[in-house]
Structure 1
Amino acid sequence: MITIDFDRFPVMPGISVLDVGCGQGRHSFEALRRGAAVTAFDSSESDLADVKTMFGAMELEGEVAIGGQGQVRHGDARAMEFPDATFDRVIAAEVLEHIHEDVDAMREIARVTKPGGLVAVSVPRWWPEKVCWSLSDEYHEVEGGHVRIYRQSQLTERLKSVGLDILGSQHKHALHSPYWWLKCAVGTDAENAATKAYHRMLVWDLMKAPKLTRWSEAALNPLLGKSVVIYARKPGNGS
């Protein structure tokens, strides 16, 4: 499931990409397919091991565009061991809501981005996330869980405070909001017929991408989108 819109966030051969808090690597894999030099960065060594394995599998299967390279780096998003102005593109998808010192991480993101480089940040959208928190403490009161709910204005102001220029925003994954409301209502570790059926639909949609659900989600995203994506640029000349 890709959250960042790569039409608005162009990645091509010769571009260096940092995926902060890469998790299972969904955005790293897409950037690698497009021929970028990708660094998947995370605090979880087990996730990074899986991402590294997949990088190798993609290369063996011929899924990597010419020039594409993938590597993994372990570390803390609040203090990344990269020189200033290292990357043309930096992605931070669904990670800042897990970090108490989020402005420190944003400052690091801005620091390692090249002048003129692009940044894409996504977090859970305020009102769908608020519903989840209201329905279930389990949803967020877990180790490594969400520590805050962002309003879009709050997120953009914090990104601007570290020196990034905001280019635009969008909402994504409207079909996922009702699923998580159902999960929170019945218990995040529980399953019932409704959640099972809804999950099957989401998997089917992910695998088949039928026009009906793609059009429906696009129409519903402004109202129900579970994630908000902010696109930004570091001032200066460059990529």
Structure 2
Amino acid sequence: MQDWIRMPSLEAWLERAKDDNFVDARNCGLVDAVQSGWYQSDSNELFVDFPISAQDIVVDVGCGGGGATLFCANRGAHVVFTDVMAEKIDALVARVASTPARACQGIVSDSCPLPLENNFATRIMAMEMLEHVEDPAEVLRELVRIGQPGALYLLSVPDAAAERLQQGFAPPEYYQRPNHIHIFEREDFSRLVQDAGLEIVNTATYGFFWTLWMCMYWVCKEAVADSPEKFSHDAAQPPYFPLLDDWASVWYRLISLPQAAPMRKALDEALPKSQIIIARKPG
């Protein structure tokens, strides 16, 4: 098997990562996200047009690793975060404890219903989670219920173009429970949000880097499927295939050039990982 497809041990990967020229896909993805409008520290916007202040009460539904929650907590907001996995909630509670968040509450919940009162929050996030749930409309109704009049919503789901592309070679279980059981066309996603009673403020797309990364991941995983070497790996965590490290290195260096910004924006529109809606609760 070629070296560029062979999965290294975690120890070997970490040793390679010590090189000053090594690019971790997660770091590359963060730089790409900031350039796309995420984590705007200077303006305290989690995403463009979604500002966070210490006066906000933020609810992050399906918080996952908690990057969005931590951004809000570091601005002193009251943060509430939910996930179906208790270990993620416990880990995030510990991390938020070292931030200036004025209050913190972690909840293990499938969001139907959310154990929060009506008109509770000023900022509500549900990112990359609606594609997993049985009834996205029901979850959105819960999100609307807990928002104060005028509350802002940051909602994202995988983009349909990238999802359809990967259907040709991703494993079938990627589109089965508990993974991506819904594919949202952009118009359908907007309609779903509006039907829940929200007003759309802005829409965006981003994540071409991750779309190509995942495509390469599926190909690499299939290439070693019949290998005598044991292979069981979470795509989100290292070690990564050397070919994926090469892609991260190329993209990182490319987007470091100011001249690449129009290209990145065009690719984020044509084949994004995610589609984003910022919405407001009337009133």
What TM-score does the superposition give when structure 1 sets the normalisation length?
A: 0.84
| Match status 1:136 vs 2:200 | no
% identical equivalent positions: 22
Query: Matches of 2:250 and 2:85 in 1, distance apart?
Result: 30
Give the partner amino acid of 1:16. Answer: I
Pairing partner for 1:161 from 165, 174, 195? 195
Task: Report 1:89-238 matches (<5 A).
Answer: 89-138=123-172, 140-141=174-175, 144-187=178-221, 192-199=241-248, 210=256, 212=258, 215=261, 216-236=263-283
Give the partner amino acid of 1:11. Answer: I
Query: Matches of 2:157 and 2:112 in 1, distance apart?
Result: 17
1:31-51: CA deviation from partner (whole Å, max 9, x where unpaired): 111221111111110111111
Q: Is the CA contact 1:138–1:187 (under 8 Å) kept in the aligned structure 2? A: no
Query: Matches of 2:221 and 2:177 in 1, distance apart?
Result: 17
- Quick one: structure 1 residues 86 and 170, their matched pair in 2 at CA, closer, same or farther if it must change by over 3 Å? same
Q: 1:28 Cα deviation (Å)? A: 0.3
Task: Report 1:47-86 matches (<5 A).
Answer: 47-56=88-97, 58-59=98-99, 64=100, 68-86=102-120
Q: Which runs of 5+ in 2 are unaligned?
A: 1-29, 40-45, 223-231, 234-239
Residue 184 of structure 1 aligns to a residue whose secondary structure is: helix
Q: Give the greater-gyration-radius structure (CA).
A: 2
Length, aligned pairs only: 225
More divergent stretch after superposition (67-76 vs 156-165): 67-76
> Which position in structure 1 is the counterpart of 2:70?
29
Residue 147 of structure 1 aligns to a residue whose secondary structure is: coil
Higher relative contact order (CA 8 A, sep 6+): 2
Residue 134 of structure 2 aligns to a residue whose secondary structure is: coil
Q: Aligned Cα RMSD in Å? A: 2.5
Q: Is the CA contact 1:165–1:235 (under 8 Å) kept in the aligned structure 2? A: yes
Query: Matches of 1:142 and 1:148 in 2, distance apart?
Result: 9
